[in-house]
Amino acid sequence: MKIAILPGDGIGPEIVAEAVKVLKALALPLEMETAPVGGAAYEAAGHPLPEATLKLAQQADAVLFGAVGDWKYDTLPRPLRPEQAILGLRKALGLFANFRPAICYPQLTHASSLKPELVAGLDILIIRELTGDIYFGQPRGRRSAPDGPFAGAEEAFDTMRYSRPEIERIARVAFEAARQRRRKVTSVDKANVLETFQFWKDVVTEVHRDYPDVELEHMYVDNAAMQLVKAPKKFDVVVTGNMFGDILSDEAAMLTGSIGMLPSASLNERGQGLYEPSHGSAPDIAGKGVANPLATILSAAMMLRFSLRQPEAAARIEAAVQKVLADGLRTADIAGEGCTVVGTAAMGDAVVRALG
Ligand code: NAI
Ligand code: MG
């Protein structure tokens, strides 16, 4: 099992080092190779996604990615900016399914935007389609309005579209993921208004015939936004399009309250994936040894589950993280009363010890 390790910029190298430490402690036959990405790669090789880095990622079963970006690159031309590395990797690897779990550990309910009783034990998974929808649909542009009450005025337009195979593959991913969880999928749409999402709903319903053991419910996006803050624990897997998923996944992230705890994964049709924390490179705390490595460590657990087919090793890491939190260890971003504040490396060491 080959893993491409791309630490990136800012706190990226610090947090990825801890995840690598945890992976090594599992004593699995993992082959890990590191390559520069983002600003670090621009400094080293003149490009945020050098050919050698891309090749390594393509040949690996999975990519463990830290974070990229720093204000100092803001003046570079767009194709050379660090963020282009993620877009380039998404495209080259054909990543179409973005997994964003929102888990609220019992010890961290104080960090949530919601009341503790609403989020204690929360464990939901938002799956966002990444390649289609109004973000990429053609045609788009600006023109003189051809009709309507403002005919002749300047207007802008985008095109919302989804094809059957695009919806089918993301629906299958959602049903498969639900089988490893509580066997419930909520498909979020706006079928009452949008033809694209009536089609989405129809296709998801058809695919569901292959998964009779999984419960399927349909929900309008406005209601889903409301239910996520009213009763988030009613969800298990939420699957939706690119734009609704963008918004709902950020909303769900806030239920847990701590950006330093949130992993993410992006998968392609071959099961290869890119795994990274949901946060950025945090230049404000880089190099200080205080960053929370748990989002990256939990991303490594997702990698074991979804790309490397090692669910037991994944569960071991997740249990170790829970144990460390239960023991009262915290990095500064999640500190609360009566707990012990530790740095990045000490947190990684504690997770390794808790693996048992
Ligand atoms: P950010 O997520 O890097 O930081 C936001 C705040 O959260 C900061 O106060 C930071 O110190 C804190 N924070 C983030 N991760 C943390 C951790 N693991 N432990 C403790 N505290 C943590 O977002 P920001 O500041 O908007 O962006 C900084 C840079 O990161 C920018 O260059 C941006 O483009 C880039 N970025 C990269 C992403 C990626 O690589 N996928 C995603 C988001 C932003
Ligand atoms: Mg977003």
Tally of domains within the chain: 2
| pLDDT on residue 110 | 80
The answer to whether residue 120 sits within a structural domain is yes
Q: What is the full DSSP assignment across 107-140?
A: GGGGGSSS-HHHHTT-EEEEEEE-S-GGGT-SS-
| pLDDT on residue 200 | 98
Q: 275 C-alpha to center of ligand 2: Å?
A: 16
Question: How many CB atoms lie under 10 A from the CB of residue 169?
Answer: 17
| pLDDT on residue 160 | 98
Please tell me whether residues 293 and 349 are part of one structural domain. Answer: yes
Closest residue CA from atom 25 of ligand 1: 282
Q: Answer whether 279 contacts ligand 1 (Cβ < 6 A).
A: yes
The answer to whether residue 291 sits within a structural domain is yes
pLDDT of 257 higher than 80:
no
Please state the residue numbers annotated as binding site for substrate: 90, 100, 128, 222
Closest residue CA from atom 12 of ligand 1: 282
How far from chain centre, in Å, is Cα 51?
25
The answer to whether residue 156 sits within a structural domain is no
Please tell me whether residues 226 and 294 are part of one structural domain. Answer: no
For residues 291-309, give the mean pLDDT.
Answer: 97
Last-in-domain residue among 256, 277, 300: 256
250 is catalytic: yes
Q: What is the CATH number of the domain that holds 205?
A: 3.40.50.2300
Counting from 1 in the atom list of ligand 1, the atom nearest the Cα of 280 is: 3
Sheet holding 184-189, edge to edge: 31-34, 2-8, 62-67, 273-277, 263-267, 97-103, 123-129, 237-240, 184-189, 215-220
The answer to whether residue 59 sits within a structural domain is yes
Q: Ligand 1: which of 279, 331, 333, 334 to mutate, most ligand atoms within 8 Å of CB? A: 279
Q: Ligand 1: which of 281, 299, 347 to mutate, most ligand atoms within 8 Å of CB? A: 281
Q: How far apart are CA 306 and CA 286, in angstroms?
A: 30
Please tell me whether residues 215 and 126 are part of one structural domain. Answer: yes
What domain range includes position 348?
1-99+264-356
Please tell me whether residues 282 and 208 are part of one structural domain. Answer: no
Number of H helices, E strands in the chain: 12, 14
Q: Which of 135, 184, 323, 327 is catalytic?
A: 135
190 is catalytic: yes
E strand segments, the chain: 2-8, 31-34, 62-67, 97-103, 123-129, 141-144, 154-157, 184-189, 215-220, 237-240, 263-267, 273-277, 329-330, 340-341
Please tell me whether residues 231 and 324 are part of one structural domain. Answer: no
Counting from 1 in the atom list of ligand 1, the atom nearest the Cα of 293 is: 18
Please tell me whether residues 196 and 177 are part of one structural domain. Answer: yes
For residues 265-291, give the mean pLDDT.
Answer: 96
Phi-psi region of 257 (alpha: psi -120 to 50; beta: other; left: phi over 0): left
The answer to whether residue 140 sits within a structural domain is no
The answer to whether residue 346 sits within a structural domain is yes
Cis peptide before 139 (omega within 30 of 0): yes
pLDDT tens for 182-215 read: 999 999 999 999 999 999 999 999 999 999 999 9
Q: 68 C-alpha to center of ligand 1: Å?
A: 9
Confidence of residue 258 (pLDDT cuts 50, 70, 90): confident
Please tell me whether residues 240 and 123 are part of one structural domain. Answer: yes
Confidence of residue 315 (pLDDT cuts 50, 70, 90): very high
Residue with tokens 């997770």: 351
How far from chain centre, in Å, is Cα 241?
14
Q: What is the CATH number of the domain that holds 321?
A: 3.40.718.10
pLDDT tens for 24-75 read: 999 999 999 999 999 999 999 999 999 999 999 999 999 999 999 999 999 9
Please tell me whether residues 270 and 245 are part of one structural domain. Answer: no
Q: Are 190 and 253 in contact (CB under 8 A)?
A: no
The answer to whether residue 146 sits within a structural domain is no
In DSSP terms, 34 is beta-bridged to 5
State pTM to two decimals. 0.91
Q: Which of 190, 211, 236, 333 is catalytic?
A: 190
Closest residue CA from atom 16 of ligand 1: 260
Please tell me whether residues 180 and 240 are part of one structural domain. Answer: yes
Return the ∠ at Cα 320 (arms to 4 and 106), rounded to 5°.
120
Counting from 1 in the atom list of ligand 1, the atom nearest the Cα of 284 is: 11
| pLDDT on residue 82 | 97
pLDDT of 283 higher than 90:
yes
Please tell me whether residues 122 and 228 are part of one structural domain. Answer: yes
Please tell me whether residues 41 and 119 are part of one structural domain. Answer: no
pLDDT tens for 92-133 read: 999 999 999 999 988 888 878 888 889 998 999 999 999 999
pLDDT of 269 higher than 80:
yes
Q: How far apart are CA 241 and CA 136, in angstroms?
A: 12
Q: Are 273 and 220 in contact (CB under 8 A)?
A: no
The answer to whether residue 326 sits within a structural domain is yes
Q: Answer whether 86 contacts ligand 1 (Cβ < 6 A).
A: yes
Please tell me whether residues 239 and 128 are part of one structural domain. Answer: yes
Last-in-domain residue among 198, 229, 256: 256
Last-in-domain residue among 228, 256, 284: 256
pLDDT of 227 higher than 90:
yes
Nearest to 126 by CA among 232, 229, 248: 248
β 123-129/97-103 pair status: antiparallel
User: Which phi and psi (to 5°) does residue 82 adopt?
Assistant: -50, -40
* Complex ipTM: 0.96
Q: Answer whether 285 contacts ligand 1 (Cβ < 6 A).
A: yes
Spatial CB neighbours of 109, under 8 Å, sequence gap ≥ 6: 116, 119, 120
